[in-house]
Structure 1
Amino acid sequence: MPFPTTHPSVARALAERGYEEPTAVQAAVLAPEAQDRDLLVSAQTGSGKTVAFGLALVSTLLGEAERFGAPAEPLALVIAPTRELALQVQRELAWLYAPAGARIISCVGGMDVRREARALADGCHVVVGTPGRLRDHLERGRLDPSQFRAVVLDEADEMLDLGFREDLEFILDAAPVERRTLLFSATIAKDIAILAKRFQRDAFRIDTVDRSQPHADIDYKAVRVAPSETEHAVVNVLRYFDAHAAIVFCHTREAVRKLHGSLAERGFAAVALSGEMGQNERNHALQALRDGRARVCVATDVAARGIDLPGLDLVIHAELPRGRDALLHRSGRTGRAGRKGVCVLIVPFNRRRRAEMLLDQAGVEAQWLGPPSAEQVRQRDQERLLQDPVFADESSEEDVATARLLLAQHSAEDIAAAFVRSMRSRLPEPEEVYDGGPQREGPARERRGREARESDEPRSSYDPLKAERGPSGPTVWFRLSIGRRNNADPRWLLPIICRRGHITKKEIGAIRIFDRETRFEVAEEAADRFAEVALGKGGKGEDIRIDRSEAPEFGDRERSEGGRNRPPRRFRDGPEGERPDGRRERGPRPDFAGEKPPFKPRRPREDGAEKPPFAKAARFDKAAGKPGKDADKRRPMGPKRAHKADKRKG
């Protein structure tokens, strides 16, 4: 449907930008029942919220006037959680209100405060800023709130999460009571409801979130990898999808710095975005993405909050989000305003269950698959090369003349091969990545229920955790070149085996340690993958060597729980009953038929008399001048103590 009736100048701005139909949230704020009222809006990320509250403010700021008057004290205040989002909101409102002659300025941390003070002194119509900087201007008297007709809180849930509650309350208390208050948030949590109840009057509630289908325009994929190959998986995912613009999320600034350096070294046009960067650096990074000079942005969660990058088709979670909201906000950078996007979660096999729980909580169904291999990436390169727009462009006479000159000196095949080499040299080389484990279809809850139904055990005794613990089928034996002489212990051998072979501890069975070597079981379904990785890469030319082995000769009855125990003495190196150092093993303990062994006889004294039953020396009673009570039950004093007792007595 076309846009509802709006202000003529705003309608021209929308037409110039190609806006033909409003989004759900834009149509809701323009409804008659929402006019000139406080609004409490929850809408999905990327649904056009900035334009929505810009349209909602038109009647309050302009009324029946065609254009804004001379700039003086600001008429509206927009508060955003981050610098990037505030600058983005300023740009959106600037083109929306441009035909009406509005002057819109920004006040954000990290920018020149003196320049902002001069802009406020010169007058404006709308101020967009972050909570901390806006409060600073209010406390110093640079920002006059007396003429505020409306205050907008964009991404209110994020501002509360970042600890801006006190700043927000200070700003809202300073604004006139008769103002309009528009609160926009992805979700209306308890804190948001309390804030709205305190500062809004008879707010009109708008909810455009379809919780049954979260992020319907985003295709979720979960890529299972080995923990040590996360970086390689990111490289191959970027090369496989070859998106016009992509963003890669990490948890910390250090992780952003490391991954950005690695991608830049491989030849990707990448920029970084983190809290430690200055505002100018962050602006240049975002502008490079918008201009196309950079195609990959490596960012932390907070730094990328709310930013809108045109053409962002791919989001990669290099590190799993810390919660459901973080997953949805990260993924919401793509699939915006009706565009389709792809979201890829890089899942190390030891974090598989955590990823499944995260997807279940978010109500998202992801396709589980292995990382794109180098062969798959090169195949996609060939497909893109055949469909390259360069072949559809019309050739000029100069191009044709150069082509004929080349054909006169080289064959067509040589020219085509040179063109392919030239195109390939501009692309980063893909990495060799190994699959992080077998595919398990369906969400975790459905899979566990399916396993319970397929299990032969009674339903009451089925334990999904027990069913997934250790290999239940046939196994293959391998050998490590270390043993007891190297202080081998399963506690540190198990991580080495998992890391070298890119398998999980659930795929490892018995571990049996011998004097000079260690043998262990690997599930048969993972044995080929383990052999390819451990024997091909990590098993040769290192201190610890891995190769295939035969099963040890001793039986399963010697295994302790989990199978990771030391072999008994009689199965060590050397003949049975003989130790490697030549000494004989101890014989079996005598069998007393369940009775207690006899007491060991007392050792006789040199004079032939038995040792008294009590070893404690007799005490001397000084007051009575004689040995203490029950002295006859104690051991007699020796000559030395008797002499000392006589001296005390005398």
Structure 2
Amino acid sequence: MAFLSTIPSLARALAERNYESATPVQTAVLEANAANRDLLVSAQTGSGKTVAYGLAIAPNLIAEAERLGQAAEPLALIIAPTRELALQVQRELAWLYQYAGARVICCVGGMEPRRERRDLAAGAHIVVGTPGRLRDHIERGALDVSKLKAVVLDEADEMLDLGFREDLEFILETTPKERRTLLFSATLPKGIASLANRFQHAATRIEVASGESGHADIEYRAIRVAPNEIEHAVVNVLRLLEAPSALVFCNTREAVRHLQAILLERGFSAVLLSGELSQNERNHALQALRDGRARVCVATDVAARGIDLPGLALVIHAELPHDAEILQHRSGRTGRAGRKGVSVLLIPNSRRRRAEQLMAIAGVQPVWSGPPSADEIRKLDQERLLRDPLLTESSSDEDRVMARALLDERSAEDIAAALVRVYRSRLPAPEEVQDPGQGREPRAPREGKGFERPSGPRSRSQGVWFRLDIGAKKNADPKWLLPMLCRRGKITKQDIGAIRIFERETKFEVSESVAKQFLANVGRPDGDPIRIELAAEGAERAPEKPRGARAFDRNAAPDRAPRGKRPKE
């Protein structure tokens, strides 16, 4: 910790957080040639830049003393593009400066402005905020910037992308000319260079984002997928890696809603982030991820800007990003602070060349493979069960009494089998997927918008027909119907045959061997408003398919399955 020895209060805070060595960006901003200079820093998200500029401006704020004086007009202003990033920066600087006696406050959109004005009136050493809210406080006279010694623009490229250039210029023009200005940006486009030339003085250029530094702790995987099996591949990747938290990226709000619905239906605890959410809904989603109530977040690029998810170990690109810069931004959410992360790109054959171009530009060398298979995941589940806390934690006396009572009534094999069932019930079922790189078997002929099974163990003569009281008018679609039927009926996908969607109802076929069990299970109340009952035809004959009805079959997948939605309310 020698590089922090000149500021004991900050060194103490870092030691308590087990900071044993500096990251490249932290080392660079603390070099002698960067001291008291304006800095133009190119650094990737997750490189430790918040602590870097917190350390860099400390000599300007604390000088020779170990602690800051009474809070009054702010000494440092940190500008961030989003509310989440600003709050994250506030938390980081609060612990970094805790023994220096710093008062760090945050001013962002979505918070009560009157409370922020009261906080500013009470005095602050460091103010963190978003451009629009900071400008508003300056114009109203609530934020006095006359005593600023340092201004930091965090993720400046994002702020320009979001249209904050005018606000940034206004803020910088009102601050003292002798201030120190530190500009941090993942990329340095012309807009950033122009901003630097106008508001910085002989800035020292520091670049730590090129080469492999942005990917050193991230393992990249490129997975071949069939176009109609992308959602299934997402399910299997999540099941294979079992990350404590994962971020799945889509390119549109509609795709985000669709994929989150699929994951929820399959039993994942998933939330979504998109531009249509209110600030309150966004806060609830992020809090669910931070406290562990949700493990998967499905998001668009814009909605994910500035969020910090501690322990994020997995990023999945369900849809390819538009350019290499976005690929780096997405992937940079994992592999932070010395922790390892995995970034998975799902790539249909039609997009392979584009994917290879993106990764080449980003300097990424992925490991290529087909999608994780259901058998591979089941094998892993067996291994994980043996390490599950159910088996590894020590047992209490009460546990042992119950165990002996069970052994008196059941065999050890029966009890072990029940344990396996309990364990599996907690896990979403893996999907059957194919590797398009290995070729495909010939498909069944198309018939209208779906398929009919010509024969097989669950053909019409061997299946029992059921009906649902929803149809095409209420967005009935096999994409969500199938997992719902399996969940409610406690059967597998292989037990379901053809699915026929009519305008106002849906009929589907269940294997005769499990039909009785299925009927009993769906008859139990579970809060789902969708009613399932025997079709009028019973098991004697399949329902007639009128012109325009859609038919689907589990043994033959279409080239592109329709994107289903849950029923309209």
* TM exceeding 0.5: yes
Answering whether residue 145 of structure 2 is matched by residue 145 of structure 1, we say yes
Mapped partners of 1:545, 1:124: distance in 2: 64
In 2, the alpha carbon distance for the partners of 1:330 and 1:391 equals: 37
Unaligned runs of 5+ in 1: 440-474, 483-492, 498-535, 547-650
TM-score normalised by L of structure 2: 0.76
Q: Which residue does the alignment assign to 2:437?
A: 437
Higher relative contact order (CA 8 A, sep 6+): 2
- Once the two structures are superposed, residues 483-527 of structure 1 have per-residue CA deviations (whole angstroms, 9 ceiling, x without a partner) of xxxxxxxxxx9x999xxxxxxxxxxxxxxxxxxxxxxxxxxxxxx
Do the aligned partners of 1:481 and 1:545 also contact (CA within 8 Å) in 2?
no
> Would the aligned equivalents of 1:214 and 1:364 in 2 still touch at CA under 8 Å?
no
Amino acid at match of 2:267: G
* Structure 2 equivalent of residue 179 of structure 1: 179
Residue identity in the other structure for 1:204? T
Report SS of the residue matched to 1:312: coil
The correspondence of residues 44-443 of structure 1 with structure 2, limited to 5 A, is: 44-212=44-212, 214-438=214-438
Task: Provide the C-alpha distance between the structure 1 equivalents of 2:120 and 2:30, rounded to a whole number of angstroms.
Answer: 30
Distance change >3 Å, CA 278–CA 101, structure 1 → 2 = farther
Structure 2 CA distance for aligned equivalents of residues 318 and 421 of structure 1 = 31
Q: Cα distance 1:371–1:538, how it changes in 2: closer, same or farther (>3 A)?
A: farther
* Cα drift, residue 2 of structure 1: 5.0
What's the TM-score once normalised by structure 1's chain length?
0.67
Shift of 1:390: 4.1
Residue pair 2:86, 2:130 contacting (<8 A) in 1 also:
yes
After superposition, the Cα gap between the structure-2 partners of 1:63 and 1:402, relative to the gap in structure 1 and judged at 3 Å, is same
Contact 2:4 2:11 in 1 (8 A): no
Counterparts of 2:381 and 2:98 in 1: how far apart (Å)?
Answer: 44
**Offset, 1:307:** 2.5
Give, in whole Å, the separation in 2 of the partners of 1:240 and 1:298: 18
- 2:420 counterpart SS class: helix
For the 8 Å contact 1:2–1:22, the answer to whether it is kept is no
Within 5 A, what are the aligned runs for 1:535-554? none
Counterpart amino acid of residue 409 in structure 1? E
SS state of the match for residue 437, structure 1? helix
- Cα distance between partner residues in 2 of 1:66 and 1:480: 78
User: Whole-Å Cα distance in 1 between the matches of residues 61 and 241 of structure 2?
Assistant: 45
Post-superposition shift, 1:476?
10
2:51 matches 1:42 = no
Shift of 1:316: 0.5
Which residue does 1:616 correspond to in 2? Answer: none
Cα distance between partner residues in 1 of 2:308 and 2:275: 18
What one-letter code is carried by the residue in structure 2 that aligns with 1:188? Answer: L
Mind listing any 5+ residue stretches in structure 2 that lack a counterpart?
A: 452-496, 501-508, 510-544, 554-569
Coordinate RMSD, CA, aligned:
2.8
Q: Which residue of 2 aligns with 1:595?
A: none
Structure 2 vs 1, CA of residues 165 and 543 (structure 1 numbering), >3 Å: closer, same or farther? closer
Pick the structure with greater CA Rg. Answer: 1
Instruction: Supply the distance in 1 between the matched residues of 2:442 and 2:141 (Cα, whole angstroms).
Output: 77
Distance in 1 (CA, whole Å) between partners of 2:239 and 2:444 is 37
Distance 1:275 1:77 in 2: 27
Distance 1:138 1:481 in 2: 65
- How many angstroms does 1:480 deviate by? 5.2
DSSP 3-state at the match of 1:13: helix
* AA at the equivalent of 1:423: Y
Deviation at 1:327, TM superposition (A): 0.3
User: Structure 1 CA distance, aligned partners of 2:450 and 2:125?
Assistant: 64
Distance 1:481 1:369 in 2: 29
> Residue deviations 1:69-122, cap 9 Å, x none?
222211111011111111100110011111122111111112222221221222
1:17 is the counterpart of 2:17: yes
Distance in 2 between residues matched to 1:29 and 1:157, nearest whole Å:
19
Measured in 1, the distance between the counterparts of 2:91 and 2:376 equals 41
Contact persistence 1:480–1:545 (CA under 8 A): no
Q: 2:435 and 2:293 mapped to 1: Cα distance?
A: 33
Deviation at 1:245, TM superposition (A): 0.7
Equivalents in 1 of 2:2, 2:282: separation in Å? Answer: 37
Aligned-pair distance for 1:395?
2.3
Share of identical aligned residues, percent? 67
Aligned residue type for 2:144 = D
